[in-house]
Structure 1
Amino acid sequence: MDWYPLRLTTPVMPHVFGGHAIAERLGRTGLPPGRVAETWEVSDVDGQAAEVNEGPLAGRSLRSLVAEHPEEMMGRGWRGARFPVLTKFIDATRALPVHLHADDETARRLEDQPNGKTEAWHILDARPGATALAGVKPGVDADALREALSRGDFDTVMRRLPVRAGQTIYVPGGTLHRFGPGTLVYEIEQTSNIQQHAMRWRMEDGAELDPDEWRRNIDMLIEEWRPEPRPDFQPGLALRAGDDVQRVICCASPYFALERWRVAAGTTARHALPTATILSNVGGPVRFHAQGWSDILEPARTLLLPAALGEVEFTGPADVMLGYLPDLRSDVLDPLAAAGYGPDVIAALGDTVPR
């Protein structure tokens, strides 16, 4: 097969916390009228699985390509039932619900799902004074959490952190969290749509929940909650990638890694593709090249680059996110150690223990 950069369908979620920031601040065109909370840039979630929408593979599902061509898509001898990484643009014009996603063990035990959902948020824009809730305060037990959630008194039990553009926070499965209002995020996570939230309304349409359903939701949330993670925002770690190229590793774990590359005008950056890589544009239009293909990637649009392409080039000015399933040792740990970063500094990126 002649592989090429894949443009995929991107489901749009009009949840009540959304606004117009993805269009107005990032320059995304073609969005439906009304509020837009999320665009799912690369998704293999049941019911929201992407399809290729251009070129010889148009109409093929992402899942079918992964199943039939695992090494060409994912590289490194990978095998799996679905594409393992989910990425989104999220507009938290209003605050998201206080919620969590189960970790792997809990998802299998309580949700009958093959995996949980660990995620990371990279902050693209935030209004002055924006904050996020991430993890609970030390000493909070299940009874105290239940009481606070029932009152809607989240600050009594949760950690409130300042939010600044350019920072990233790694949020392990089971961590209670919320961001917004006034926050624009690029999110990378495990492929899953499981969640439990503590609000009295539905995030899809704002409709009030039946009181019994709301109490059941809180019961399930507490059952899936992990008290230990207390993640913090961090600026990422820079690696040299050539003159006039800034490469920052934003987060890393066995589930995903995320990088941000900024390239000066007239400079061409090159990135090897040992595995499928999600290239999302968070700046102006970008010229890219891959195995004979050349095109423009528009603002707030995404390409999925199969491993079979071998390498991608993009020419500045460029500001792009690169998300992928890493080999932690070769893709993250060894390059950062060679650049002089110590183990404790590297560990702040997320879960950097190879498995």
Structure 2
Amino acid sequence: MEDPQLYPYLIEPKLVGAIWGGDALVKRFGKAGDANEKLGESWECWDTNRLLNGSLAGKTIAQLRTELAAAFLGNLDPVKMFPVLTKIIDARAALSVQVHPDDEYAQRIEHQPNGKTECWYVIDAQPGAELVLGWNRDTSREEYERRVKDGTLGDLLRRVPVQAGQVFYLPAGTLHAIGAGIIVFETQQASDLTYRIFDWNRVDANGKPRELHVQKAADVLDYRQSEAGAIDQIDYELGGMQRTACIADRNFTVEKLRLSGEWASLPTEGRPLIFMTLDRPAHVRCAAGTAELRPYQTVLCGAESHHVELRAMQDQAAVMFVTPPARADAMEERLQSAGVDGDRIEAFLHQFAPLVKT
């Protein structure tokens, strides 16, 4: 008999105001907030988010992991924070130039369990929009510190044009900023550690500049020239579903699923699964129930559901699909099962190979 508590959990998002935010989270994505406020982020799946439906409505994901343990988490540690955070980010203006620490630095200096590797799926981008993604040439800590002081750091910023549908991977230590006019779906390690380097000389509502973290950033930055661009994604079919492999990091995998009006199934692989619809509604069914997802709504399914079924409510729908810390070979196995050429798989996975700093 299926556990009645293993139904699809609709998640109540948390809206976060930001000096660079806009009104799209409310007006376009239907989030419950004040469109007159500058809203920058919708935290879609986060440890303290609450469930909206079913017998567990009102409980947080944190309560779920302690009360349901392995039924929800599989072999993830129920004592630790839910390991990924997913967001929608509306950058009406550019975000600060920033960097995130890796796990070792976060543990040693910040006494936090992990750092922050992240990735972006671009939902929308205005013409001419661009990201800051690394350095345009090799540099050094000494040059970085000098240019921060004399205001010429911008000369070293590498700017990358961006368009909807692209995916970008940002391992910890990557200098970056989301530019104005870009909306992304972000998947990241569960951490809010951000070291701001430059904030475009802005001031907050009190007329004060936001805090910068120039020296901590100096500790964790990768100073090598960046050549990374949009990820070369792989389209494939598995289990009667059209899928696109986007990210295969050791901390999470990200895919885009294309649904039809017929039910299609995928295994949980012993992990809780996160789904967010894009611009069309969908149904999600697992162990003990079915949920209806509005566009840009997030649902979470427990590990011991074993299989999750999805279908478009209309003729088609697209869904972002995230799994928290997966086996190192999980994505490789999916692609092999679909008959993807071995060389293509190797080239795809190489994009996420650990970087060795020099």
Q: TM-score range by the shorter chain?
A: 0.7 to 0.9
Q: Percent identity?
A: 28
2:33 to 14, 31, 34: 31
Q: Secondary structure at the match of 2:50?
A: coil
Structure 1 position 347 matched with structure 2 position 343: no
| AA in 2 matched with 1:83 | F
Given that residues 254 and 351 in structure 1 are in contact (C-alpha distance below 8 angstroms), is that contact kept between their aligned partners in structure 2?
no
Shift of the alpha carbon at 1:77?
6.1
Q: Which has the higher strand share?
A: 2
Cα separation, partners in 2 of 1:77 and 1:219, compared to 1, 3 Å: closer
Shift of the alpha carbon at 1:198?
1.6
Shift of the alpha carbon at 1:133?
0.9
Structure 2: distance between partners of 1:226 and 1:114 = 21
| AA in 2 matched with 1:346 | F
| AA in 2 matched with 1:327 | A
Structure 2: distance between partners of 1:66 and 1:351 = 30
Structure 1 position 270 matched with structure 2 position 269: no
Q: Secondary structure at the match of 1:234?
A: coil
Cα separation, partners in 2 of 1:204 and 1:114, compared to 1, 3 Å: farther
Point out where structure 1 has 5 or more consecutive residues left out of the alignment. none
Given that residues 98 and 197 in structure 1 are in contact (C-alpha distance below 8 angstroms), is that contact kept between their aligned partners in structure 2?
yes
User: How many residues align structurally?
Assistant: 342
Shift of the alpha carbon at 1:232?
2.1
Q: Which residue of structure 2 aligns with residue 233 of structure 1?
A: 230
Given that residues 22 and 40 in structure 2 are in contact (C-alpha distance below 8 angstroms), is that contact kept between their aligned partners in structure 1?
yes
Q: Which residue of structure 2 aligns with residue 126 of structure 1?
A: 125
Given that residues 40 and 88 in structure 1 are in contact (C-alpha distance below 8 angstroms), is that contact kept between their aligned partners in structure 2?
yes
Equivalent residues in 2 for 1:134-283 (5 A)?
134-199=133-198, 205=205, 207-209=207-209, 214=212, 217-228=213-224, 230=226, 231-241=228-238, 245-264=241-260, 266-274=261-269, 275-283=271-279
Shift of the alpha carbon at 1:105?
0.7
Q: Which residue of structure 2 aligns with residue 61 of structure 1?
A: 60
Q: Secondary structure at the match of 1:7?
A: strand
Given that residues 139 and 224 in structure 2 are in contact (C-alpha distance below 8 angstroms), is that contact kept between their aligned partners in structure 1?
no
Moved more, 163-172 or 64-73: 64-73
Shift of the alpha carbon at 1:99?
0.6
Shift of the alpha carbon at 1:18?
1.0
Given that residues 279 and 318 in structure 2 are in contact (C-alpha distance below 8 angstroms), is that contact kept between their aligned partners in structure 1?
yes
Given that residues 234 and 348 in structure 1 are in contact (C-alpha distance below 8 angstroms), is that contact kept between their aligned partners in structure 2?
no
Q: Secondary structure at the match of 1:267?
A: coil
Q: Which residue of structure 1 aligns with residue 284 of structure 2?
A: 288
Shift of the alpha carbon at 1:228?
4.3
| AA in 2 matched with 1:325 | P
Structure 1: distance between partners of 2:78 and 2:13 = 24
Q: What is the TM-score with the length of structure 1 in the denominator?
A: 0.88
Equivalent residues in 2 for 1:331-342 (5 A)?
331-337=330-336, 338-342=339-343
Structure 1: distance between partners of 2:153 and 2:159 = 9
Q: Secondary structure at the match of 2:55?
A: coil
Shift of the alpha carbon at 1:330?
4.5
Structure 1 position 307 matched with structure 2 position 303: yes
| AA in 1 matched with 2:64 | L
Per-residue CA deviations over 1:88-128 (Å, capped at 9, x if unaligned) read 00001110100111100111122111110100011111112
Cα separation, partners in 2 of 1:269 and 1:222, compared to 1, 3 Å: same
Q: Secondary structure at the match of 2:11?
A: coil
Given that residues 52 and 61 in structure 1 are in contact (C-alpha distance below 8 angstroms), is that contact kept between their aligned partners in structure 2?
yes
Q: What is the TM-score with the length of structure 2 in the denominator?
A: 0.87
